Amino acid sequence: MLQTPVPADGNGLNPLLQNPGMIFHPPLLFLGYGGFAVPACLALAQSLSGQGSSEGAWFRLSRPFIILAWLFLTAGIVLGAWWAYMELGWGGYWAWDPVENASLVPWLIGTASLHTLIVEDRRGKLGRVNVTMMALTTVSAFFATYLVRSGVIDSVHAFGDGSVGTPLTIFVLSGLVIALWVPFAAPKTGKPLAGLESREGFLTLVAWVLLALALIILVATMWPVISKLWSTAPRGLDARFYNRVCLPLGALLGGHDGRLSVAWLGWRPAQQKGLFCCDRRLCGQRRGHLGVGLPPAYRRWWALLAAVGIVLGAVMLLADKANRSHPVTVGALGAHMGMALVAIGIAFSGPYTTDREMLLAKGETGTVGSYTATLLELGEGRRADHEYIAARLQVFKDGKPLGIVAPERRLYDKFGSMQFSEVDVIPGLGNEIYASLLGLDENSRVVVKISVEPLVNWLWIGGTIMCLVPLAGLRRRKNSAPESDDNSAA
């Protein structure tokens, strides 16, 4: 729609999007989405040709693409969470927005496929399942694009309704049919899975839980569309639903971390050995979930269970001594240790965060937990393209000075009455102090929100480790044939 009269100059990029995190967040997501297309196409092509034995297994040929796609998608999600935390001023990093969920679904399916690929790589089983799951990862990535571009769901991140909605719908549905039909039209190979008390059975169970999470999030995200079938006033599901349903499943994955439980399992049910690494080529991850919106005791216990399980699993991976012929790779170790830090950050920064809105005049003090904040000064002024008000607060802990935070509220010339928050933090590996300026009252007293965010930086540190250290796993390794059931050297 044309604007009349035509403005002499456009508004430019929204200030929220000028943060470095948002500069890299979308490209990383789309590199992850696109990266999974390569192994998916190879998997489908090899299913149709039946030339896997002569060409080499598709998952070995496309291993660098699988690892890089997973890393890019992980980095995009973590960076988007960091942007929300630092730029939006509400103190959180995940709101279960439909577009956020759309990026999480392919991550969960891709992570599940990494688990089942271990079984095929080591045991020659689940071949058709792995083709399907890798294809579904790519289809879900296109679905994420559809969700953003079609206008089918209301979201602050989504574009309005456009002409690409219908073509994307046809493409996604066609891709879904192909992903389900091609693998199961191929001849069945491999032997049946062993029981759940074996490593291959347990890894398959972990993959099913990840897929269940993906399906729940997908259905909940599309609930406003689904509920139109019987309701004239459909409503979406809020964060409380996601947390109540997803948190126990996330805790189940964490509490039974693959590296913790699988370490005691052999590839066959009878092989109950000591500690060893279940995989020497590909590594998968489990993801903890937020506990915001749940009863405090409920969300704390579930979150802590997930964190403790993943941490113990990572430690046992590091302490692996029973399988020195296949040592733990740096990439697998780094990914699991990073996930352990992320789990701890999520488990504590959500349920244990404390915050308070304070109405302060100059020299007055407010308290949140064991911290106090004193307003030193309140200033206002103008910069090149915006007006601002800024507060300087001295923060104390148990009476000892901790630092100064200076949050701002900005009003940009080209964005009318829209206000933007510029937060400030006092970082720490324990508690981080997070301050946002909400406004002024009629008596020129400042309204600030001070939050104490425990261990939140462990999430960013762990996410960085997850995205960088596994790059060491890109080095090509010598291929080996799947082990037989009679081979006890697992």
Amino acid, res. 469: V
d(CA 163, CA 133): 29
* Confidence check: pLDDT of 135 > 90: yes
Higher pLDDT, 431 or 338: 431
Task: For 446, list phi and psi in degrees, rounded to 5.
Answer: -85, 140
* Closest to 408 (Cα-Cα) out of 393, 396, 397: 393
* Confidence check: pLDDT of 308 > 90: no
Q: Count the neighbouring beta carbons within 10 Å of the beta carbon of residue 158.
A: 18
Which ranges of 292-388 does DSSP label H, i.e. alpha helix?
A: 296-318, 330-349
Domain range summary for the chain, segments of one domain joined by +: 16-234, 238-352, 356-455
Work out the pLDDT band at 157, boundaries 50, 70, 90.
low
Higher pLDDT, 487 or 393: 393
Contact 253, 210 (CB under 8 A): yes
d(CA 356, CA 8): 44
d(CA 224, CA 185): 35
Mean pLDDT in the chain?
79
What is the pLDDT at residue 314? 61
d(CA 323, CA 273): 10
* Closest to 91 (Cα-Cα) out of 366, 354, 427: 354
pTM (2 d.p.) = 0.84
> Tokens at residue 420, please?
């933007």
At which residue do the structure tokens 């909400």 appear? 438
* Closest to 101 (Cα-Cα) out of 327, 267, 287, 297: 287
Exposed, middle or buried, 403 (CB in 10 Å: 0-12/13-18/19+)? middle
Higher pLDDT, 253 or 476: 253
> Tokens at residue 192, please?
């049946």
How many helices (H) and strands (E) the chain has is answered by 15, 10
* Closest to 113 (Cα-Cα) out of 285, 334, 306: 285
* Confidence check: pLDDT of 448 > 90: yes
- Under DSSP, is residue 289 helix (H, G, I), strand (E, B) or coil? coil
What is the pLDDT at residue 350? 77
Q: pLDDT (tens digit, 9 = 90+) per residue, 251-289?
A: 777 655 544 444 445 555 544 443 333 333 333 333 333
What is the pLDDT at residue 68? 94
Q: pLDDT (tens digit, 9 = 90+) per residue, 208-225?
A: 889 999 999 999 999 888
Q: What is the dihedral of CA 299, 303, 306, 308, to 10 degrees?
A: -130
What is the pLDDT at residue 294? 42
Exposed, middle or buried, 460 (CB in 10 Å: 0-12/13-18/19+)? buried
d(CA 436, CA 323): 51
> Tokens at residue 288, please?
């903890």
> Tokens at residue 383, please?
């910069």
> Which segments of 97-221 are extended strands (E)?
none
